[in-house]
Amino acid sequence: MADGRREPPPYGRDRIRGSLGSNSPYEGGRGGGHPSMRGGYPPHGGPGGGASYQTQERRPTWRNPSPGPSESRDAVPSTSAAVSTPAFSTNVHEPPPQPQPSSSGLGNIGRPLHRAAGPRRRPLADTLRTRGPDAPSKHGTTGQPLQLQSNYFKLLKRVDWTLYHYQVEMVPPCASPRLMQSLVNEHKKLLGGFVFDGVQLFTACKLSNDELVLHSQHDRTGDKYELHIQRVAVVDMTDETGIQVLNLILRRAMNGLNLQLVGRNLYDAAAKIPIREYHIELWPGYITSIRQHENEVLVCCEIAHKTMRMQTCYDILRECQRHDRNFKDAFRRAVIGCVVLTGYNNKTYTIHDVTFETTPESTFDTKNGKISFLDYYKNKYNLRIRDSYQPMLLSRAKKKDTRSGDSELMALVPELCQMTGLTDSMRSDFKMMRAMADHTRLNPDRRIERLETFNRRLQTSPESQEVFKVWQMELDRRLVELPGRLLPQEMIFFSTTSNGVQAGENADWTAHFRDNPMFATVRLSRWYLIVPSRCQREAGDFLNCMITAARGMRFEISNCEMVPMPDDSPGTYIRTLDAIINRDPQMIMCVVSNSKSDRYTAIKKKCCVERAIPTQIMVQKTITPKSGNVRTLMSVATKVVIQMNCKLGGVPWKVKIPLNGLMTIGFDVCHDSKDKSKSFGAMVATLDHDNRGTPKFFSTVSHHSSGEEISNYLPLNTVKALNEYRREFGELPKRIIFYRDGVSDGQLQYIYDHEVRSLVEKLGQIYKSAGIEQDVLLTFFIVNKRINTRFFDHRLNPRPGTVVDNVVTLPQRTDFYLVSQSVKQGTVSPTAYNVIYDTSGLKIDHLQMLSYKQCHLYYNWSGTTRVPAVCQYAHKLSFLVGQYLHQTPSNMLEKKLYFL
- Domain 658-787+834-893 fold is Nucleotidyltransferase; domain 5 (3.30.420)
Residue 87 has pLDDT above 60, yes or no: no
Mean local confidence (pLDDT), 139-147: 95
Based on the number of CB atoms within 10 Å of its own CB, is 575 exposed (0-12), middle (13-18) or buried (19 or more)?
exposed
pLDDT for 315: 94
Q: pLDDT-derived band of residue 618, with 50, 70 and 90 as boundaries?
A: very high
Phi and psi at 889, nearest 5°, equal -75, 170
Mean pLDDT (the chain) is 82
Please state, for a pLDDT cut of 90, what percent of the chain lies above it.
Answer: 50
In the prediction, which pLDDT does 792 show?
A: 97
User: Residue 693 has what pLDDT?
Assistant: 85
Better-predicted residue by pLDDT, 623 or 626: 623
d(CA 724, CA 292) in angstroms, rounded, equals 44
User: Does position 117 have pLDDT exceeding 70, yes or no?
Assistant: no
Q: Could you give the CA distance from residue 19 to residue 601 in angstroms, rounded to a whole number?
A: 49
pLDDT digits (tens, 9 = 90+) for 224-233: 999 999 999 8
Torsion of CA 320, 322, 328, 332, to 10 degrees: 0
Query: What element of type H or E holds 147?
Result: strand 144-157
Instruction: Place 59 in a pLDDT band, splitting at 50, 70 and 90.
Output: very low
Q: CB neighbours (10 Å) of residue 686?
A: 22
The confidence score (pLDDT) of residue 218 equals 86
As a whole number, mean pLDDT of residues 750-760 equals 90
Inform me whether the pLDDT recorded for 895 exceeds 90: yes
Q: How many CB atoms lie within 10 A of CB 723?
A: 13
DSSP state of 61: P
Residue-wise pLDDT for 315-325, tens only, equals 999 999 998 88
Evaluate if residue 364 carries a pLDDT over 60.
yes
CA 293, CA 315: separation in Å to the nearest integer? 48
> What pLDDT is stored for residue 713 in this prediction?
84
Tell me which architecture the domain covering 310-425 has in CATH: Beta Complex (2.170)
Q: Write the Ramachandran bin of 816: left for phi over 0, alpha for psi from -120 to 50, otherwise beta.
A: beta
CA-based diameter of the chain, in Å?
A: 92
C-beta contacts of 698-701 below 8 A and 24+ residues apart: 698/724, 698/725, 698/894, 698/895, 699/873, 699/874, 699/877, 699/893, 699/894, 699/897, 699/899, 700/891, 700/894, 701/877, 701/878, 701/881, 701/888, 701/889
Query: What is the average pLDDT across 134-153?
Result: 94
What percentage of residues in the chain have a pLDDT greater than 70?
A: 83
How high is the pLDDT of residue 159? 56
Lowest mean pLDDT among 665-669, 743-747, 853-857: 743-747
pLDDT of residue 9: 35
Local structure of residue 626 (DSSP, 8 states): G
pLDDT band at 574; cut points 50, 70, 90 = very high
Q: Would you state the pLDDT for residue 604? A: 94
Higher pLDDT, 421 or 856: 856
Overall average pLDDT of the 733-746 stretch: 90
pTM score = 0.81
- For residue 69, count other CB atoms closer than 10 A to its CB: 8
- What is the topology classification, in CATH, of domain 158-234? Alpha-Beta Plaits (3.30.70)
Confidence label for 34 from pLDDT (cuts 50, 70 and 90): low
Domains of the chain, by residue range, sit at 158-234, 310-425, 521-648, 658-787+834-893
Active-site residues, by number, are 668, 741
Strand residue runs (E) in 398-494: 408-412, 417-420, 473-486, 491-493
> What are the pLDDT digits (tens) for 467-496?
888 888 889 999 999 999 999 999 999 988
Residue 57 pLDDT level (bands cut at 50, 70, 90) = very low
Least Cα distance to 229 among 146, 167, 287, 176 occurs for 167
Superfamily designation of domain 521-648: Response regulator (3.40.50.2300)
Q: Quote the CA–CA distance of 449 and 455 in Å, as a whole number.
A: 10
- Which residues touch 795 (CB under 8 Å, ≥6 apart)? 444, 445, 448
Whether the pLDDT of residue 723 is over 70: the answer is yes
pLDDT at 706: 63
pLDDT of residue 90: 31
Query: Which residues are 146's β-sheet partners?
Result: 484
Size (the chain), residues: 900
pLDDT at site 125 = 42
CA–CA gap between residue 548 and residue 637 (Å, rounded): 9
Q: Can you give the pLDDT at residue 22?
A: 30
